[in-house]
A = this chain, B = another copy of it.
Amino acid sequence: MPTLTAAGIEPLFRLLGRYMVLDEADRAALSTLETGPICTCDARTDIAREGENPTVIRLLVSGWACRYKDLPDGRRQIVAFFLPGDFCDLNVYILSELDHSIGALTQVRYYDIQPQQFQEVIDQRPHLVRALLWHEMVSAGIQREWLLSIGQRSPLERLSHLFVELYYRLRAVGLATGLSFDLPITQNHLAEANGLSVVHLNRTLQEMRRAGLIELSDRQLRIIDLDRLKSVAMFNSNYLHFNRS
Protein backbone atom coordinates (compact mmCIF):
# COMPACT_ATOMS: atom_id res chain seq x y z
CA MET A 1 0.00 0.00 0.00
CA PRO A 2 2.32 2.77 -1.14
CA THR A 3 -0.23 5.47 -0.40
CA LEU A 4 -0.25 4.44 3.21
CA THR A 5 3.44 4.84 3.84
CA ALA A 6 3.36 8.63 3.62
CA ALA A 7 2.33 9.35 7.18
CA GLY A 8 2.00 12.29 9.50
CA ILE A 9 1.00 15.76 8.52
CA GLU A 10 3.98 16.51 6.37
CA PRO A 11 1.62 16.92 3.39
CA LEU A 12 -0.25 19.60 5.32
CA PHE A 13 2.97 21.48 5.96
CA ARG A 14 3.77 21.41 2.29
CA LEU A 15 0.28 22.48 1.34
CA LEU A 16 0.08 25.46 3.67
CA GLY A 17 3.68 26.28 2.90
CA ARG A 18 2.63 27.12 -0.62
CA TYR A 19 0.45 29.91 0.67
CA MET A 20 2.56 31.21 3.52
CA VAL A 21 6.02 30.70 4.93
CA LEU A 22 5.74 28.47 7.99
CA ASP A 23 8.24 28.82 10.80
CA GLU A 24 9.05 26.26 13.46
CA ALA A 25 6.45 27.61 15.87
CA ASP A 26 3.80 27.22 13.19
CA ARG A 27 4.81 23.65 12.56
CA ALA A 28 4.85 22.89 16.23
CA ALA A 29 1.38 24.29 16.70
CA LEU A 30 0.04 22.37 13.73
CA SER A 31 1.72 19.21 14.95
CA THR A 32 -0.54 19.16 17.98
CA LEU A 33 -3.33 18.30 15.54
CA GLU A 34 -1.86 14.88 15.05
CA THR A 35 -1.55 14.01 18.70
CA GLY A 36 -5.00 12.42 18.74
CA PRO A 37 -5.77 8.90 17.55
CA ILE A 38 -5.56 8.24 13.85
CA CYS A 39 -8.53 6.71 12.04
CA THR A 40 -8.37 4.11 9.32
CA CYS A 41 -11.06 3.44 6.79
CA ASP A 42 -11.28 0.79 4.09
CA ALA A 43 -11.77 1.55 0.44
CA ARG A 44 -15.37 1.75 -0.72
CA THR A 45 -16.74 2.71 2.67
CA ASP A 46 -18.28 5.97 3.82
CA ILE A 47 -16.50 8.22 6.25
CA ALA A 48 -19.53 10.44 6.70
CA ARG A 49 -23.06 10.34 5.36
CA GLU A 50 -25.35 13.09 4.15
CA GLY A 51 -27.79 14.04 6.88
CA GLU A 52 -25.41 13.41 9.74
CA ASN A 53 -24.54 16.10 12.22
CA PRO A 54 -20.92 17.04 11.59
CA THR A 55 -18.83 17.51 14.72
CA VAL A 56 -15.23 16.98 13.69
CA ILE A 57 -12.75 18.38 11.20
CA ARG A 58 -11.05 15.66 9.22
CA LEU A 59 -7.48 15.88 8.08
CA LEU A 60 -6.52 13.30 5.49
CA VAL A 61 -2.99 11.96 5.85
CA SER A 62 -2.88 9.09 3.38
CA GLY A 63 -5.05 7.60 0.67
CA TRP A 64 -7.71 9.24 -1.47
CA ALA A 65 -11.23 10.19 -0.44
CA CYS A 66 -14.01 12.08 -2.12
CA ARG A 67 -16.97 14.26 -1.44
CA TYR A 68 -20.04 13.06 -3.29
CA LYS A 69 -23.75 13.62 -3.59
CA ASP A 70 -26.30 11.12 -4.79
CA LEU A 71 -29.85 11.09 -6.05
CA PRO A 72 -32.67 8.88 -4.78
CA ASP A 73 -32.42 6.68 -7.87
CA GLY A 74 -28.75 5.94 -7.33
CA ARG A 75 -27.03 8.36 -9.69
CA ARG A 76 -23.94 9.65 -8.00
CA GLN A 77 -21.67 12.63 -8.55
CA ILE A 78 -18.24 13.01 -7.05
CA VAL A 79 -17.86 16.72 -6.41
CA ALA A 80 -14.35 16.76 -4.97
CA PHE A 81 -11.30 14.61 -4.47
CA PHE A 82 -9.48 14.75 -1.16
CA LEU A 83 -5.77 14.11 -1.30
CA PRO A 84 -3.29 13.72 1.55
CA GLY A 85 -2.93 17.02 3.39
CA ASP A 86 -6.48 18.14 2.64
CA PHE A 87 -9.06 19.03 5.21
CA CYS A 88 -12.34 17.39 4.31
CA ASP A 89 -14.38 20.14 5.90
CA LEU A 90 -12.92 23.01 7.76
CA ASN A 91 -16.16 24.78 8.59
CA VAL A 92 -19.12 22.48 8.17
CA TYR A 93 -19.21 21.61 11.82
CA ILE A 94 -21.16 24.81 12.41
CA LEU A 95 -23.98 23.35 10.33
CA SER A 96 -26.49 21.02 11.85
CA GLU A 97 -26.72 18.66 8.94
CA LEU A 98 -24.26 17.48 6.33
CA ASP A 99 -25.51 18.11 2.76
CA HIS A 100 -23.12 15.62 1.19
CA SER A 101 -21.30 12.40 1.92
CA ILE A 102 -17.63 11.62 2.24
CA GLY A 103 -16.32 8.32 0.99
CA ALA A 104 -12.99 6.58 1.00
CA LEU A 105 -11.79 5.72 -2.49
CA THR A 106 -8.78 3.77 -1.27
CA GLN A 107 -7.80 2.71 2.18
CA VAL A 108 -7.31 6.00 3.99
CA ARG A 109 -5.95 7.33 7.22
CA TYR A 110 -7.08 10.58 8.76
CA TYR A 111 -7.25 12.51 11.99
CA ASP A 112 -10.53 13.48 13.57
CA ILE A 113 -9.90 16.91 14.99
CA GLN A 114 -12.20 18.59 17.47
CA PRO A 115 -13.10 22.16 16.52
CA GLN A 116 -11.97 23.23 19.95
CA GLN A 117 -8.58 21.60 19.50
CA PHE A 118 -8.35 23.38 16.21
CA GLN A 119 -9.23 26.66 17.83
CA GLU A 120 -6.31 26.29 20.21
CA VAL A 121 -3.89 26.04 17.33
CA ILE A 122 -5.30 29.19 15.84
CA ASP A 123 -5.21 31.02 19.14
CA GLN A 124 -1.56 30.11 19.38
CA ARG A 125 -0.66 31.16 15.85
CA PRO A 126 -3.40 33.55 14.68
CA HIS A 127 -1.81 34.28 11.34
CA LEU A 128 -2.41 30.65 10.33
CA VAL A 129 -6.04 31.61 9.76
CA ARG A 130 -4.91 33.26 6.58
CA ALA A 131 -3.39 30.05 5.24
CA LEU A 132 -6.43 28.02 6.23
CA LEU A 133 -8.78 30.53 4.67
CA TRP A 134 -6.63 30.35 1.58
CA HIS A 135 -7.00 26.60 1.52
CA GLU A 136 -10.77 27.03 1.66
CA MET A 137 -10.74 29.53 -1.18
CA VAL A 138 -8.74 27.12 -3.30
CA SER A 139 -11.28 24.39 -2.60
CA ALA A 140 -14.05 26.72 -3.68
CA GLY A 141 -12.06 27.64 -6.77
CA ILE A 142 -11.63 24.01 -7.69
CA GLN A 143 -15.35 23.50 -7.28
CA ARG A 144 -16.05 26.32 -9.73
CA GLU A 145 -13.51 25.02 -12.19
CA TRP A 146 -15.18 21.62 -12.14
CA LEU A 147 -18.49 23.26 -12.90
CA LEU A 148 -16.88 24.92 -15.91
CA SER A 149 -15.42 21.56 -16.93
CA ILE A 150 -18.60 19.57 -16.70
CA GLY A 151 -20.73 22.32 -18.16
CA GLN A 152 -18.55 23.34 -21.08
CA ARG A 153 -15.51 21.18 -21.69
CA SER A 154 -15.72 18.09 -23.88
CA PRO A 155 -14.95 14.76 -22.22
CA LEU A 156 -11.42 14.80 -23.63
CA GLU A 157 -10.78 18.33 -22.43
CA ARG A 158 -12.41 17.58 -19.10
CA LEU A 159 -10.35 14.53 -18.34
CA SER A 160 -7.18 16.27 -19.47
CA HIS A 161 -7.99 19.13 -17.16
CA LEU A 162 -8.59 16.83 -14.22
CA PHE A 163 -5.27 15.07 -14.73
CA VAL A 164 -3.36 18.33 -14.85
CA GLU A 165 -5.13 19.51 -11.71
CA LEU A 166 -4.35 16.30 -9.88
CA TYR A 167 -0.75 16.51 -11.02
CA TYR A 168 -0.33 19.99 -9.57
CA ARG A 169 -2.11 19.15 -6.36
CA LEU A 170 -0.16 15.97 -5.81
CA ARG A 171 3.10 17.65 -6.64
CA ALA A 172 2.30 20.29 -4.06
CA VAL A 173 2.24 17.65 -1.35
CA GLY A 174 5.21 15.72 -2.69
CA LEU A 175 3.26 12.86 -4.22
CA ALA A 176 4.32 13.23 -7.83
CA THR A 177 7.67 12.09 -9.16
CA GLY A 178 8.59 13.77 -12.38
CA LEU A 179 5.46 13.77 -14.51
CA SER A 180 4.08 10.60 -12.95
CA PHE A 181 1.83 9.97 -10.04
CA ASP A 182 -0.17 7.25 -8.39
CA LEU A 183 -3.80 7.28 -9.51
CA PRO A 184 -5.30 4.76 -7.09
CA ILE A 185 -8.92 5.13 -8.18
CA THR A 186 -11.02 3.23 -10.68
CA GLN A 187 -12.36 4.36 -14.02
CA ASN A 188 -15.74 4.25 -12.38
CA HIS A 189 -14.68 6.95 -9.97
CA LEU A 190 -13.29 9.04 -12.80
CA ALA A 191 -16.59 8.65 -14.62
CA GLU A 192 -18.58 9.70 -11.58
CA ALA A 193 -16.41 12.75 -11.13
CA ASN A 194 -16.76 13.79 -14.74
CA GLY A 195 -20.44 13.15 -15.29
CA LEU A 196 -19.75 10.45 -17.88
CA SER A 197 -20.65 6.80 -18.28
CA VAL A 198 -17.83 4.35 -17.57
CA VAL A 199 -17.93 3.15 -21.13
CA HIS A 200 -17.42 6.58 -22.53
CA LEU A 201 -14.78 7.43 -19.98
CA ASN A 202 -12.87 4.32 -20.96
CA ARG A 203 -12.99 5.32 -24.62
CA THR A 204 -11.88 8.83 -23.79
CA LEU A 205 -8.90 7.44 -21.90
CA GLN A 206 -7.96 5.40 -24.93
CA GLU A 207 -8.23 8.47 -27.08
CA MET A 208 -5.85 10.27 -24.74
CA ARG A 209 -3.39 7.40 -24.93
CA ARG A 210 -3.65 7.28 -28.69
CA ALA A 211 -3.06 11.02 -28.85
CA GLY A 212 0.15 10.52 -26.88
CA LEU A 213 -0.99 12.68 -24.00
CA ILE A 214 -0.71 10.18 -21.18
CA GLU A 215 0.20 6.67 -20.24
CA LEU A 216 -1.92 4.90 -17.69
CA SER A 217 -1.52 1.40 -16.38
CA ASP A 218 -1.25 -0.33 -13.06
CA ARG A 219 -2.70 2.71 -11.32
CA GLN A 220 0.23 4.82 -12.49
CA LEU A 221 -0.45 7.88 -14.57
CA ARG A 222 2.34 9.36 -16.59
CA ILE A 223 1.91 12.65 -18.38
CA ILE A 224 3.82 12.48 -21.63
CA ASP A 225 3.60 16.09 -22.70
CA LEU A 226 2.45 18.46 -19.98
CA ASP A 227 2.29 21.52 -22.21
CA ARG A 228 0.16 19.78 -24.76
CA LEU A 229 -2.07 18.33 -22.09
CA LYS A 230 -2.58 21.78 -20.59
CA SER A 231 -3.29 23.17 -23.99
CA VAL A 232 -5.91 20.52 -24.74
CA ALA A 233 -7.48 21.13 -21.34
CA MET A 234 -7.31 24.91 -21.67
CA PHE A 235 -5.75 24.78 -18.27
CA ASN A 236 -5.13 28.01 -16.39
CA SER A 237 -3.58 27.38 -13.00
CA ASN A 238 -4.76 30.65 -11.48
CA TYR A 239 -7.64 28.97 -9.65
CA LEU A 240 -5.22 26.93 -7.56
CA HIS A 241 -3.72 30.15 -6.19
CA PHE A 242 -0.33 28.61 -5.71
CA ASN A 243 1.42 31.95 -5.67
CA ARG A 244 2.02 33.46 -2.27
CA SER A 245 0.44 36.88 -2.01
| Chain B contacts for A73, CB-based, 8 A | 234
Interchain CB contact under 8 A, A147 and B148: no
A110 located at the interface, meaning its Cβ lies under 8 Å from any Cβ of chain B in the complex: no
| Smallest CB separation, A143 vs chain B (Å) | 5
Docked complex Cα distance between A243 and B152 (Å): 34
Docked complex Cα distance between A85 and B143 (Å): 23
A245 located at the interface, meaning its Cβ lies under 8 Å from any Cβ of chain B in the complex: yes
Q: B69, B148, B195, B234: which contacts A144 (Cβ < 8 A)?
A: B69
Instruction: List the number of copies, as a whole number.
Output: 2
A133 located at the interface, meaning its Cβ lies under 8 Å from any Cβ of chain B in the complex: yes
Could you say which of A50, A137, A140 has the most chain B C-beta atoms within 10 Å of its C-beta?
A140
Of residues 188 through 212 on chain A, the ones whose CB sits less than 8 Å from some CB of chain B are: 194-195
Interchain CB contact under 8 A, B143 and A144: yes
Interchain CB contact under 8 A, B143 and A143: yes
Chain-B contact segment, one of A96-104, A173-181, A220-228? A96-104
A241 located at the interface, meaning its Cβ lies under 8 Å from any Cβ of chain B in the complex: yes
| Chain B contacts for A134, CB-based, 8 A | 94-95
Of residues 11 through 58 on chain A, the ones whose CB sits less than 8 Å from some CB of chain B are: 50-51
| Smallest CB separation, A72 vs chain B (Å) | 6
Interchain CB contact under 8 A, B130 and A69: no
A165 located at the interface, meaning its Cβ lies under 8 Å from any Cβ of chain B in the complex: no
**Chain B residue nearest to A233 in the complex (CB):** B71
Residues of A bordering B, CB below 8 Å: 50-51, 67, 69, 71-73, 75-77, 79-80, 91-92, 94-97, 99-100, 130, 133-134, 136-137, 140-141, 143-148, 150-153, 194-195, 234, 238-239, 241, 243, 245
**Besides A69-B147, A77-B147, A91-B133, 19 other A-B contacts (C-beta < 8 A):** A50-B238, A67-B144, A69-B144, A71-B152, A75-B152, A77-B152, A79-B147, A79-B148, A80-B144, A94-B130, A94-B134, A96-B243, A97-B238, A99-B141, A99-B144, A99-B239, A140-B140, A143-B147, A146-B147
Top 9 A-B pairs ranked by shortest CB distance? A151-B195, A99-B239, A96-B245, A77-B151, A75-B152, A69-B148, A77-B148, A79-B147, A79-B144
